[in-house]
Structure 1
Amino acid sequence: MPTIHIDGTTTTVPDGFTIDDLLPDRNKNHSVGIIRPVTISRAETKEFLIKTTAGEVVVETVPGTGAGEILTGLTGIRSGWHDLQVASFGPFPSSFVPSRRPFRYDRGDLALGCGGYDPSRSFLIFCKKTHSADHGGPAENGVVARVISGMGVMDRLGDMDSLISIEPVISFAESSDARTTTDGSVVLEEGMHVVTHIRVHAEGKMPDRYDPATAVSVDRMLLALKDQEFVVDKKMSNHIRCDILAGTDVPCEKCSGRKEGTVLMRTSGKNRGSLYFYTQDLPRSLAHTVVGHVVHGIELCKIAAEKDRLQIIVEPSQVDLVGMPLESARAEAEAFNLKFTPDVDSPDRIVISQKPATTLEALSQGAIEVRTIPDKQVISITLDDVNAPRTCKIFREFSGLKYHAIGRLPILFSFDEVTLFKAKIPKATSVLPENIPVSSVDAGILAMTNDSCKGVGIVGVRSVPSSEFGPTSEPFSGTNIIGTVIDMEKVANLEEGELVFFREVRR
């Protein structure tokens, strides 16, 4: 029976077992990484993957220190002493002569030390900050390795954490033997590694609290990954990129080095809003902000191909109650251990805003307040992305449906046959003609005025059919049909100047 490794866990499977047999419930559209045994190099490896309860750290060993022998086989090691400068794990037996004098340690060093100058009580010491100290190490300060990926994980190590395992990092000798696939009929082989997903810790997530310093940019990342899917729109030698939020404004809240495993979003340029997973170290870029760190599945990032769809799990998930029925919002808040306070506590109400507005702020405060309206005031619509993709994208952006399940627009004008809504579209945004009516428009058709008319960006719906004018009272040539209004009976009761809330129904 072959022994395989799935997401770092070793298991045995029957002969002829396939990926579908191993993962019967997997999403067939998601690619998994398969690394055949010939690509796994354990001899004279320079890099080791250290799995901790706080996440994964990759270290590169220092030549001549015997680090490979020291690290190999260490499992289940508990936390030792911790302070602002170091996090240690042990004790475990070792053999060296303690130097009994202080040394300088740099941030990211992994050092060998001992308690009471007794090597039988040795510790692995992660150096969180540059400092000088006597850690009971051997001559030449005892630095056996340096962290090259997972600095954020190292910073989060605390008293309650432990080292789960230490193993050589998988090397990819031949690209043909390390690849992604959606083919569930691939037969599992002895020693094969299977990587099913990527796991990310959001920037600001700490062992005992949340730091809201990057709250807005992190919420942009959580929005991009809300469906637990990363689409590889671009693959480069040092990163993979997802463009699902390309064109979205993202503030630069933490400009830092682009280390392997760092998740960043672009804050300027044509790809602003795009999401980057770095697979190699690069200097920092002023056009990128750090939003997270890969704690599992960096191998999948490295071998992914363009157009791959990868399963991704982000911790924490987004706290977005906007658009939820009140009771569902209450249950969601309780799942996050948040104190929940609605403005009106009664049935059949829909959340239209929350305070704090972002995930990290809500989790750091441990409480959330919501504003609600009666469900009868929320109008359900459908949008036609097939025939009017550009205009639907504009409508979602400026109504707020891009960011939440509920959007809003003020009524501009209302009379017997037509109701008009005003979207505040910047002059630089072009609403090019698309999905123009041919002979007539039915009641309930939702449309936006395009660039061929002065009222560009106005959204409208008709209560009766017309063979002359579109839903915004413009000629057909100036009308882009974007969808339909399901709740036309609610439109009849609207008044001028009123703020109208929309709920998109996907079909």
Structure 2
Amino acid sequence: MITIELNDVEVEIEKGSTLADILKKTQTSYTKDAIIGIVKGGEEIKTLTTEYSLFTNKGEFKIEVDSEKSELINIWLTHFTDSNLQAHWATPDVTAFGPISTDIKTDRDTYEYQRYDVIFGAGGYDAKNTYLLFAKDRHNASYGGYNGGIFGRVISGKNNIAKLDQGDSIDRIEPVIKWETLTDKVITTDLDLLLEDGMKIFSYISVDLREDSPQGAEHFLGAVRKGLFNASDSSSSYIVDDVLKGEICPFESLDSRSEGTVAIRTKGIGTGRAFISKEDRTSSAVHSIIGNVTKGLELVKLAENTHKLEIRVNPQQVMFLGLNIDEAKAKAQERGLAIEIDGDSSDQAMIVEQDPKTTMEILKNKKVSVLGIPPDLLLHIKFYYDKAPITIEYLRHALKLKERPVGPLSVFFTYENTILFKTIKRAEGYKELMPENTPSDKVIAGEMGVTNQASRQYGIIGIKNEDDERYGPTGEKFHSTNIIGRVIDAEKLKSVSQGDIIYITEVD
């Protein structure tokens, strides 16, 4: 027998066993093409980090200093880390410990501070009266520190910051030491790999989402709804999933990006990208923190560009779209939710909308309202990804199919053998629709097309219910039409009229 550690649990298994054997024995799921990380033991070394633990009479909290603020960090190291500090004064915005005489630079300007900023200030704008301040709320003030004096962030134990008041004390400050093991590391998708005694195996990552970031959490759940985190890019400090790159996500939570932190970029180039930090980084005004890796961080650190990681998210997404009424009722009961059904409530009606839209809000309210439609209003499409990837990306964005299983289309016009649609979400500026997979001889009934930029009507979507050798699904000439897929139940469209809303879902 040999001993293996699988996802932090020791398992004894017969010598000569493979990865497949241990996954089967432990009933551990495995998603095809997901990487498995394997670590063999080695020598441990210790390294200092940019984090410090502060022990007060009200409890412990941790801060992370900004490695780029070298002058302020020098003040921190030489004057504060070995001192017993007492809170000299406090306001609803900050608590100030000190003073201590330093050579800090000062200025008299007013600056904006965020909750949990760690600040150096100077009483009377005099460096001899240097204070260590912890921001308890967002505010503007002039504390005397040069350029605002911010040099760090509180990253854990934040509830203790609110408790600090005049007369409280910081009894000791300790640097956080992390142990790193020098090891042989292997990444594989080969389930026939032979196991060796002492191996540590990581087959998935777990992420806990933050309740204070409901929109960002839902964005992330949409990105990984197929159970995989797709590492579109990687570096020594992060991996990033680009599945929802370009999709808007609001900023909700500013916090330190310590290792294992999950964040969504909310502005600039790369909006919508989902990041997982491999190492500690300072907070960013364009990265909204939505969760943390609670298991499998080693797999994150091993992952590289193009790798797929099996992921388990807590809480699991609450998604009713695409279910029939019976399935929706069963899911609501399973999750302990009250469900209210609007629209068609027959057993086979299909759910196409839900309110609230986010998992966090639904779980908080413990109830959800859903919209049911007759099955005949839900179309199933098989996309031609190998032939028209850019146009499909455009349509999936417009229908929100990138983050959810069902999307709406408005019937714009019908005539003869042609049905035209417009997306409810306008998306003409999302991507250029250059000619792509244009038909040459004939358009097959049921194929969906999108008018490209060879026509002034670009962005119009269409389906024909008969084969056509002259015009594309949108009624345009072939060179103006991009064929993106085939609706497998297009016969449902025979009874639709202008102004109707139908829904689309994707099939493999």
TM range (shorter): 0.7 to 0.9
Matches of 1:382 and 1:186, distance apart in 2: 36
The aligned residue for residue 372 of structure 1 is 372
The aligned residue for residue 194 of structure 1 is 201
The aligned residue for residue 129 of structure 1 is 160
Aligned partner (choices 175, 180, 184) of residue 171 of structure 1: 180
Matches of 1:338 and 1:84, distance apart in 2: 38
Matches of 1:84 and 1:313, distance apart in 2: 35
The percent identity for this pair of structures is 28
- TM-score where L is the length of structure 2: 0.74
Given that 1:4 and 1:13 are in contact with CA atoms closer than 8 Å, whether structure 2 keeps it comes out as yes
CA change 1:289–1:127 in 2 (3 A) is closer
Amino acid at match of 2:395: F
Within 5 Å, which residues of 2 pair with 1:332-371? Answer: 332-343=331-342, 344-371=344-371
Matches of 2:34 and 2:410, distance apart in 1: 40
The aligned residue for residue 158 of structure 1 is none
CA change 1:256–1:230 in 2 (3 A) is same
The aligned residue for residue 493 of structure 1 is 495
Structure 1 segments, 4+ long, off by >6 Å, are: 59-62, 101-107, 142-145
Q: CA deviation at 1:487?
A: 2.4
| 1:30 pairs with 2:8 | no
Q: CA deviation at 1:102?
A: 11
| 1:274 pairs with 2:298 | no
Amino acid at match of 2:41: P
Within 5 Å, which residues of 2 pair with 1:283-432? Answer: 283-343=282-342, 344-423=344-423, 424-427=426-429, 429-432=431-434
The SS at the match of 1:37 is strand
Coordinate RMSD, CA, aligned: 3.2
* 1:295-330 CA-partner distances (Å, limit 9, x unpaired): 111111112222221111100111111221111111
The SS at the match of 1:474 is coil
Q: CA deviation at 1:145?
A: 6.9
Given that 1:450 and 1:478 are in contact with CA atoms closer than 8 Å, whether structure 2 keeps it comes out as yes
* 1:16-46 CA-partner distances (Å, limit 9, x unpaired): 33322212363352211111122x52xx756
CA change 1:238–1:355 in 2 (3 A) is same
Matches of 1:493 and 1:127, distance apart in 2: 59
The SS at the match of 2:213 is helix
* 1:46-98 CA-partner distances (Å, limit 9, x unpaired): 699xxxxxxxxxx9899xx9xxxxxxxxxxxxxxxxx99569xxxxxxxxxxx
Q: CA deviation at 1:408?
A: 1.2
CA change 1:487–1:425 in 2 (3 A) is same
Q: Mean Cα displacement is larger for which, 303-312 or 354-363?
A: 303-312
CA change 1:400–1:186 in 2 (3 A) is closer
Within 5 Å, which residues of 2 pair with 1:13-24? Answer: 13-24=13-24
Matches of 1:36 and 1:261, distance apart in 2: 22
| 1:237 pairs with 2:236 | yes
Unaligned 5+ segments in structure 2 are: 62-83, 88-94, 98-115, 117-155
Q: Mean Cα displacement is larger for which, 351-360 or 372-381?
A: 372-381
Matches of 2:15 and 2:175, distance apart in 1: 39
Given that 2:223 and 2:403 are in contact with CA atoms closer than 8 Å, whether structure 1 keeps it comes out as no
Matches of 2:195 and 2:487, distance apart in 1: 51
| 1:180 pairs with 2:179 | no
The aligned residue for residue 483 of structure 1 is 485
Q: CA deviation at 1:273?
A: 1.1
Unaligned 5+ segments in structure 1 are: 49-58, 66-82, 88-100, 108-124, 149-168, 205-212
Matches of 1:248 and 1:172, distance apart in 2: 39
Matches of 2:243 and 2:444, distance apart in 1: 33
Amino acid at match of 2:336: N
Q: CA deviation at 1:246?
A: 1.2
Amino acid at match of 1:500: I
The aligned residue for residue 132 of structure 2 is none
Given that 2:52 and 2:173 are in contact with CA atoms closer than 8 Å, whether structure 1 keeps it comes out as no
Aligned partner (choices 443, 446, 457) of residue 444 of structure 1: 446
Q: Mean Cα displacement is larger for which, 354-363 or 421-430?
A: 421-430
The number of equivalent residue pairs is 410
The aligned residue for residue 218 of structure 2 is 219
Q: CA deviation at 1:187?
A: 3.0
Matches of 1:186 and 1:490, distance apart in 2: 49
